[in-house]
Amino acid sequence: TVLVVDFGAQYAQLIARRVRECQVYSEIVPSTMSVAEMLAKNPKAIILSGGPASVYAEGAPAAPAGLFETGVPTLGICYGHQVMARALGGTVENSDVAEYGGTTVSVLAPGTLLAGLPATQAVWMSHRDHTSAAPAGFTVTARTDVIPVAAMEDAERGLYGVQFHPEVLHTEHGMDVLRHFLYDAAGCRPGWTMVNIAEEAIEAVRARVGETGRAICGLSGGVDSAVAAALVQRAIGDRLTCVFVDHGLLRKGEAEQVEKDFVAATGVDLVVVDAADRFLAELAGVTDPETKRKIIGREFIRAFESAARDIVAEREGPVEFLVQGTLYPDVVESGGGTGAANIKSHHNVGGLPEDLQFGLVEPLRTLFKDEVRALGEQLGLPAEIVWRHPFPGPGLAIRIIGAVDRDRLAILREADAIAREELTAAGLDRDIWQFPVVLLADVRSVGVQGDGRTYGHPVVLRPVTSEDAMTADWARLPYDVLQKISTRITNEVREINRVVVDVTSKPPGTIEWE
Ligand code: XMP
Phi, psi at 237, each rounded to 5°? 60, -130
Q: How far apart are CA 31 and CA 52, in angstroms?
A: 13
Q: What's the sign of the alpha-carbon dihedral 280, 282, 287, 291?
A: negative
- For 194-386, the fitting CATH number among 3.30.70.360, 3.20.20.70, 3.60.15.10, 3.40.50.620 is 3.40.50.620
DSSP 116-171: T--SEEEEEEEEEEEEEEPPTTPEEEEE-SS-S-SEEEETTTTEEEESS-TTSTTS
> Tell me, what's the pLDDT at 131?
95
Q: Which of 99, 167, 172, 371 is catalytic?
A: 167
**Site to substitute for ligand 1 among 300, 369, 435, 512, most atoms within 8 A of C-beta:** 512
102 lines ligand 1 (CB under 6 A): no
Of the residues 165, 180, 347, 457, only one is catalytic, namely: 165
CATH code linked to domain 405-501? 3.30.300.10
Q: Please give the pLDDT value at position 123.
A: 96
Q: Which residues pair with 91 in a beta bridge?
A: 133
CA 391 to ligand 1: nearest atom? 22
pLDDT at residue number 250: 96
Give 325 Cα–ligand 1 centroid separation in angstroms.
15
Is 223 annotated as contributing to ligand binding? yes
Catalytic annotation present for 384: no
2-185 and 194-386: identical CATH topology = yes
Domains of the chain: which residue ranges? 2-185, 194-386, 405-501
Distance CA 244, CA 82 (A): 51
Contact 208, 231 (CB under 8 A): no
* Phi, psi for residue 97 in degrees, rounded to 5: -105, 125
DSSP for residue 55: T
**Res 356: pLDDT:** 62
The pTM of this model reads 0.83
Minimal-distance CA residue to ligand 1 atom 20: 392
Burial 449-469 (b: 16+ CB within 10 A, else e): eeeeebebbbbbbbbbebeeb
Q: If you ran DSSP here, which 8-state letter would residue 68 be given?
A: G
C-alpha gyration radius of the chain: 26
| 128 residue type, one letter | R
Q: Which amino acid is at 55?
A: V
226 known member of a binding site: yes
Query: Closest Cα to residue 194, out of 320, 378, 340, 50?
Result: 378
pLDDT, residue 10, reads: 67
> What pLDDT, on a 0 to 100 scale, did the predictor assign at position 354?
59
Task: Judge whether 173 counts as a catalytic residue.
Answer: no
Residue 101 near residue 139 (C-beta atoms within 8 A): no
Complex-level ipTM: 0.98
To the question of whether residue 222 is assigned a binding role by annotation, the answer is yes
| Cβ(51) – ligand 1 distance below 6 Å | no
In Å, how far are 16, 219, 301 from 345, measured between CA atoms? 27, 15, 10
Distance CA 462, CA 387 (A): 19
* 165 tagged catalytic: yes
Among 224, 251, 511, name the best residue to mutate to test ligand 1's pocket (greatest count of ligand atoms within 8 A of Cβ). Answer: 511
Contact 418, 441 (CB under 8 A): no
Ligand 1 contacts CB of residue 390 (under 6 A) = yes
Cα distance between residue 261 and residue 148, in whole Å: 58
Consult the annotation and say whether 335 binds a ligand.
no
- Name the residue with the closest Cα to ligand 1, atom 18: 392
- Mean per-residue pLDDT pooled into runs of 10, the chain (514 residues): 88 91 95 95 97 86 93 97 96 84 94 97 92 97 95 97 94 97 98 93 96 93 94 96 96 92 93 96 97 93 88 82 89 54 35 67 93 95 92 96 98 98 97 97 94 95 90 95 98 97 94 96
Residue 273 assigned to a binding site: no
Q: What is the 3-state secondary structure (H, E, C) of 381-395?
A: CCHHHHCCCCCCCCH
- Kindly report the CATH number that applies to the domain delimited by 2-185: 3.40.50.880
394 lines ligand 1 (CB under 6 A): yes
Closest Cα to atom 22 of ligand 1 = 392
